[in-house]
Structure 1
């Protein structure tokens, strides 16, 4: 199979979808690998490294012409939509269920290609291609938030001695991203508040993190204060946060709105009036890239260093923060995508999809139709069965 690695065109996206050593392995298996010139440069994988691995370096038009399987990291932006043909297979993060307007989704999907989304590949109830980037997202939002706090509010976040009390950090949600934020915060002895549905889960995760980091020597670290969230009474959580938020230095939202929490039930967990109560130059981040979802004032940005000053509060919400460390994130991501790339290349896309339910779960569009149930439901599309479209 001819496999193409495309250079990312989204602003500040600096990752690449395949490493040279992986290209070499595919070539050894009889495949031809094409790399768009400059695709790996920002991730410290120059064209020369791919050439030494046996790959062919070409401009985008040649890669698109020659290749069936196309590899990217992020969803195509509008200027790329016309690049794709009905016989292409695109393997990347698609995120069609996120902030992309329906008109743009239509324009992309109508190209007819087979789109397989990293984020929806599911194995035994887990999402293995999301996990490493989610963990890295947690690390980086913690790192950037404490940098911004020091830069704008003049506060050192960590408690590294008796004269350093530590900043107050609010974490909303304790999934993978939130757990990694918690890990960083406990390691640096911040005063942590966690919004979570299950108080015992917070206690268990805290204990696990402390054991992993410190063995038996970190158990004296102050555990998080838990603000319980009840789906049946979300206002109670909001009221408690309203009382706490004037003293909070950093807010990092790591949770997305679930279908059982419509706007009619809870417009925002943190609204603009609460932001107004925060001290000037405190920091608010949304790690989910869901605009104005649980925090009224948070809107994502494509620019990794961009922040807004809203009500004198620093807002920082880049939608692809792993690209802040492109070498690290490329290595982590390609370590988990490569087995699926080999599967598609060696079996062919249709046979691989039929034979492997985990790969099949990632198929988001084909022949101009949406094929992923959640995406279809969230965006208001009919959902086609991918197996029917393959017949």
Structure 2
């Protein structure tokens, strides 16, 4: 069985889907591990380390010969078409936004597993790449805020006077938000947080943060994810959050609803109500942003309402990739653990009676197995057939 680990080609992507450690694990499962030359360099893994782990370095992967392709970023449609029927792919797929690739995978007869679809159950925790990468992102966003804030995070009592601690507000207390809370607390800030899932209050408190309770409907979906608030509830949420945002020196937003645009939590007026020099870091910038006016990959200076200064609005783009060494270490292990579940008696034989295998499967046997994505594809085909604009 040939398993390929490619060099990621999307701009700015530094991670790799396999490390020398996981190459050993995969070789032990019976795979011949082929690594494209230079695939791990940006993550701190030179080709020689893969060779010492038993992998083979190749100038280019021959996709048509691979039995399994492990990847980080969603594949391009052209890449999917080069895979042989029955081949397996494992990696992030972004199915709701990469419909052309999903269609190409199905048409090519490829069995694809999307790490975003791994069920959130105890047995699948070691394969939960969303959580492992959110851990890295939550840590990174606090560091990005700290280097931009023109003051200390911790309390300092000196002969020249007392420097009060910074106030950090985190919106969203999932994996990324909790990591942000813990990191900001370790840096000495006073940390406050809010999440529309009331169960998050205990987790916030366990990290030393203060949970802000708002008079809102609860919004917890299956699997512990947040669900979208109604329009009226969203407006009420922003009204209740406004005074807390105004009091913060640093605002970090991490709220996301899987498969949908990020919810709008903070309006431009709310940002303008913050003190000059304050910093806003939006971790959801790539999926539309929690903060009005955010641009992924850019810093934007927003004038305060009184015109006395600016608030820095930071649209983080791919923060996990910026810390490629550890994010790749975690991601590659997620991939290898899922691949191990697909192997039986030394052969690739996915057991669709297994809830993890079935839940993570995006396409198989020429069909789209993930029903929400299949529904989106059906809608896209219908709109195109009616002469309306389809996919790009």
Same fold, TM-score > 0.5, yes or no: yes
- In structure 2, the CA distance between the partners of 1:30 and 1:380, relative to structure 1 (3 Å rule), is closer
- What does residue 186 of structure 1 align with? 185
Post-superposition CA distance 1:319-373 (Å, at most 9, x none): 4211212111122222333222223244688732324211221112235543223
Alignment RMSD (CA, Å): 3.3
1:158 to 141, 154, 157: 154
Superposition pairs for residues 1-391 of structure 1, below 5 Å? Answer: 1-62=1-62, 64-77=63-76, 80-97=79-96, 100=97, 102=99, 106=103, 110-124=107-121, 128-149=128-149, 154-161=150-157, 163-197=162-196, 201-202=200-201, 204-210=202-208, 223-230=210-217, 231=229, 233-257=233-257, 268-289=264-285, 291-301=287-297, 306-311=298-303, 312-346=310-344, 351-366=349-364, 369-376=367-374
User: TM-score scaled to structure 1, two decimals?
Assistant: 0.78
Structure 1 runs of 4+ with >6 Å offset: none
Counterparts of 1:60 and 1:345 in 2: how far apart (Å)? 25
- The Cα shift of 1:92 comes to 0.4
The DSSP-based 3-state class of the residue aligned with 2:287 is coil
- In structure 2, the CA distance between the partners of 1:276 and 1:353, relative to structure 1 (3 Å rule), is farther
Unaligned ranges ≥5, structure 2? 218-228, 304-309, 381-392
Counterparts of 1:349 and 1:254 in 2: how far apart (Å)? 40
Post-superposition CA distance 1:282-336 (Å, at most 9, x none): 32222235533542223434xxxx4344554433333421121211112222233
- The Cα shift of 1:7 comes to 0.9
- In structure 2, the CA distance between the partners of 1:61 and 1:339, relative to structure 1 (3 Å rule), is closer
- What does residue 390 of structure 2 align with? none
- The Cα shift of 1:159 comes to 2.8
Post-superposition CA distance 1:191-249 (Å, at most 9, x none): 333222355742x2234224xxxxxxxxxxx7344445435734332112223333322
Counterparts of 2:257 and 2:295 in 1: how far apart (Å)? 15
Verify the 8 A CA contact 1:193 1:226 in the aligned structure 2: no
Counterparts of 1:104 and 1:282 in 2: how far apart (Å)? 41
Q: Which is worse superposed, 42-51 or 191-200? A: 191-200
Q: Which is worse superposed, 170-179 or 74-83? A: 74-83
Counterparts of 2:49 and 2:245 in 1: how far apart (Å)? 50
Verify the 8 A CA contact 1:370 1:381 in the aligned structure 2: no
Counterparts of 2:237 and 2:191 in 1: how far apart (Å)? 16
The DSSP-based 3-state class of the residue aligned with 1:284 is strand
The alignment covers a number of residue pairs equal to 355
Verify the 8 A CA contact 2:89 2:112 in the aligned structure 1: yes
- What does residue 214 of structure 1 align with? none
- The Cα shift of 1:257 comes to 4.5
User: TM-score scaled to structure 2, two decimals?
Assistant: 0.78
Counterparts of 2:351 and 2:165 in 1: how far apart (Å)? 50
- The Cα shift of 1:258 comes to 8.1
- In structure 2, the CA distance between the partners of 1:294 and 1:26, relative to structure 1 (3 Å rule), is closer
